Amino acid sequence: MATYLDTILAAHRAAAGRDERDLHGLIERAQALPPTRGFAVALRGSDRLAVISEIKRRSPSKGDLFPDLDPAELARTYERGGASCLSVLTDREFFGGSVDDLRAARGACGLPVLRKDFTVDPRDVADARLMGADAVLLIVAALDDAELKHLHQLATHLGLDALVEVHDEHELDRAAAAGATLIGVNQRDLTTFTVDRDLAAKLRPAMPEGAVTVAESGVRHRQDAEALRTAGYDAVLVGESLVTSADPAAAVEDLRI
Distance CA 182, CA 80 (A): 25
Q: Active site residue: 53, 54, 87, 171, which one?
A: 54
pLDDT, one tens digit per residue, over 133-185 is 999 999 999 999 999 999 999 999 999 999 999 999 999 999 999 999 999 99
Confirm whether 107 is domain-assigned: yes
Confirm whether 25 is domain-assigned: no
Number of domains, the chain: 1
Confirm whether 31 is domain-assigned: no
Judged by phi (left if over 0) then psi (alpha if -120 to 50, else beta), residue 179 lies in left
Q: Active site residue: 56, 84, 87, 240, which one?
A: 56
Torsion angles phi and psi, residue 229, rounded to 5: -65, -45
Q: Active site residue: 53, 171, 217, 240, which one?
A: 217
Confirm whether 205 is domain-assigned: yes
| Across 194-198, average pLDDT | 92
Distance CA 181, CA 162 (A): 8
Q: What pTM did the predictor assign?
A: 0.97
User: Does the pLDDT of residue 15 top 70, yes or no?
Assistant: yes
Distance CA 220, CA 184 (A): 17
Distance CA 155, CA 54 (A): 21
Q: Active site residue: 79, 84, 87, 116, which one?
A: 116
The SS3 of residue 115 is strand
pLDDT given at position 154: 98
Q: Active site residue: 53, 79, 84, 216, which one?
A: 216
pLDDT given at position 45: 74
Confirm whether 238 is domain-assigned: yes
- The boundaries of the domain holding residue 65 are 4-16+38-255
Confirm whether 236 is domain-assigned: yes
Identify the H or E element spanning 8. Answer: helix 4-18
- What is the tally of helices (H) and strands (E) in the chain? 12, 10
* Beta-strand pair 212-216/135-139: unpaired
**pLDDT band at 193, cuts 50/70/90?**
confident
CATH number at residue 174: 3.20.20.70
Q: How big, in percent rounded to 5, are the helix, strand and coil portions of the chain?
A: 45, 20, 40
Confirm whether 9 is domain-assigned: yes
Question: Is 116 marked active-site?
Answer: yes
pLDDT, one tens digit per residue, over 45-82 is 778 999 999 999 999 888 999 999 999 999 999 999 99
pLDDT given at position 61: 82
Q: Which of 73-82, 187-196, 214-223, 231-240 shows the lowest per-residue confidence on average (mean pLDDT)?
A: 187-196
Question: Is 46 marked active-site?
Answer: no
pLDDT given at position 103: 98
Question: Is 20 marked active-site?
Answer: no
Confirm whether 27 is domain-assigned: no
User: Does the pLDDT of residue 1 top 70, yes or no?
Assistant: no
| Across 73-92, average pLDDT | 98
pLDDT given at position 39: 98
Distance CA 129, CA 152 (A): 13
